[in-house]
Amino acid sequence: MRRAAPPTRAASTAPGQWLWSLVAGAVFASASLVTAYVAQMPVRWNPPYESNTVSAATLFGGVLLTGSWLWWLLVARHRRADGLRGAATGVLVAVFSYPIVLLLAEFFQTDWHFHPAGSSLTDRLVHVVMLAGFELLTTGFAATAVLALVGLGVGSVEARLSAGAAYAVGRRRSLREIAVLSLGIGATSIIALLVVTFVSLSLLPIRPLAAPSRSPAPNSYEEALNAFALIKEHEANLPLHPRCGSVLLTHGEKVARTVVFLHGLTNCPAQADELAPWLFAMGYNVLVPRLPGHGEADALTLALADVTAEDFVSTARSSLDLAQALGDEVIVVGLSAGGTATAHQAQHENRLSNAILVAPFLATGIVPQWAAQAATNLLLLAPNMMVWWDPRSPYTSAEMDYAYPRFATHALAQLMRLGHIVAVEADTDMQAAQRIGFLLNEADLAVDNRLAQSVAAAWRQHGGEVIVSMLPQTKGLPHDLIDPRQPDAAVDLIYPMLVEMMSPERAER
């Protein structure tokens, strides 16, 4: 007599189980959107969607796919729904969703095909893996905990509604129970590891700035010209791009106001080659120093690998020393990395009549403010790497061949370190600069605008004269608001705004 065959695996994955998988995926995806909103994750809710940004639709779709697949693989096809298995599955959904969502954003969010002129497919995949690992180690503990609770709930509900559906018995059931127990232990270990990593990185103190070494400041206009001549003599021995040397525009004498412009990370003084003459024509003496490690002719140079926060501060301070002999008042305008150095000067230098921070890089925009210290320490402790700004199309255009297409992760971390120091000091001490202006861009996800606004509020609370102008997201402006060769540049809008912010009359209104 032939024995009746046990239920087949096909029977165990009936349409109802596929439906449960989709339901679980949708619940995980919805929870991810809520978590991103509450935790202030850098998710783009409205277009335009740029490189290295994640839209809400991409986040929902990526988690939906990941959650549905893992729920079918670990729960539905075995018809073994329960709270423990659901919670463990939720942890794995969180872990795998990071690279899946970033992969979708990398290849399908803004472009639907591979760019032949861009980096290799391997470079783009490595970029996704690196970014996923960075975000998982800084914010992953929150996502895993939330999705574990969601999985616990979905698994418990499915178990109640599908009671009696299990078919495995005897030895096979025992093996599955062992597998579920192992899954639960593994998921718990992942959460514990992420929590311990985040707490350790958050509690590790940021190293303070080392005491600076200072050279005598010029005391006259002539001494300032001699000091700048020494700078140019030094730069003549460096392998610089022809357009990236430090720039000084003077009217032949000391004037009422001198403007110092500090350029952004991986750019050079060429970034201001239209802004500087424009300001000069208005009567200012203008100094545009080259920040350390920048401006080399080889765009793939490793010069940024060893740049520190102290280097940025030292260059900004020596530039202020020089500028003070060129004008009765000194105004410093800093973009991005230059804005970080300008923020430190605004906190400490009472010689500044006005400091204007344009999209200051006080912290990265890809993690929320509460994870900024953990992110800074993670980048400082991790191996130093050269990373493409945009792996889809990494090489700069012919018009911007002076800008590096890559940045050093330690240089980025050093700027975040300096931004953290400024934020802490702003909470306790009044600004030193007479007036401070912030020009922020709502469409800019490269920097943490919330931290910039928090620093502005702290200075204002101490009685400082601080103004904040926010460019609306609808304008779709780039992070680099100064270089006229940037795509979507709007210098006709930005340059007059800067001049208005330089005016004392605006601060008095």
pTM assigned to the model: 0.86
Residue 311 in tokens: 């280097």
187: left (phi over 0), alpha (psi -120 to 50) or beta: alpha
| pLDDT score at 374 | 95
- Helix, strand or coil, per DSSP, at residue 295: coil
Q: How many CA atoms lie within 13 A of 281 on its CB side?
A: 7
Q: Is residue 452 over pLDDT 90?
A: yes
Listed in sequence order, the residues at least 6 apart from 337 whose beta carbon sits closer than 8 Å to its beta carbon are 262, 263, 264, 265, 291, 312, 361, 415
Query: Model confidence at 110, in pLDDT bands (50, 70, 90)?
Result: low
pLDDT score at 264? 97
C-alpha span between 245 and 258 (Å, rounded):
19
Query: Residue 440: beta bridge partners?
Result: 470
4 has a pLDDT exceeding 80: no
Cβ-contact 336, 364 below 8 angstroms: no
Superfamily of segment(s) 222-508: Alpha/Beta hydrolase fold, catalytic domain (3.40.50.1820)
pLDDT at residue 10 in the model: 43
- 182 or 289: which leads in pLDDT: 289
What would the mean pLDDT of 33-42 be, rounded to a whole number? 86
Please calculate the CA angle 188-193-375 and round it to the nearest 5 degrees: 140
Q: Among 109-118, 183-192, 454-463, where is mean pLDDT lowest? A: 109-118
Shortest CA distance to 125 belongs to which of 133, 455, 7, 117? 133
Strand 255-262, strand 327-335: pairing? parallel
Q: Which of residues 414 and 112 earns the better pLDDT score?
A: 414
CA–CA separation, 81 and 74 (whole Å): 9
In the DSSP assignment, the letter for residue 364 is B
Q: Residues 285, 319: contact at Cβ < 8 Å?
A: no
Give the start-to-end residue ranges of the domains of the chain: 9-203, 222-508
Task: Give yes or no for a contact between 29 and 54, defined as CB atoms under 8 angstroms apart.
Answer: no
Kindly indicate the confidence band of residue 167, based on its pLDDT and cuts at 50, 70 and 90.
very low
Letter for the amino acid at 51? Answer: S
Token output for 400: 């911007």
Q: What is the pLDDT of residue 98?
A: 92
pLDDT tops 80 at residue 160: yes
pLDDT given at position 18: 80
Could you tell me which residues come within 8 angstroms of residue 505 by beta carbon, excluding any fewer than 6 positions away?
A: none
Inter-residue contact 144 to 89 (CB < 8 Å): no
User: CA torsion, points 491, 367, 377, 423, in degrees to nearest 10?
Assistant: 60
Measure the CA dihedral 416/422/424/425, to 10°.
Answer: 160
Whether the per-residue pLDDT at 169 is higher than 80: the answer is no
Beta strands in 255-402, from DSSP E residues, in sequence order: 255-262, 285-288, 327-335, 352-358, 386-388
Q: Write down the mean pLDDT value for the chain.
A: 87
CA angle 33/39/44 to nearest 5° reads: 55
pLDDT digits (tens, 9 = 90+) for 67-96: 999 998 888 877 777 888 888 899 999 999
| Reported confidence tier of residue 170, pLDDT bands at 50, 70, 90 | very low
Q: Which residues contact 477 (CB under 8 A, 6 or more apart)?
A: 441, 443, 444, 471, 488, 489, 490
Q: Which two tokens stand for residue 188?
A: 């718990």
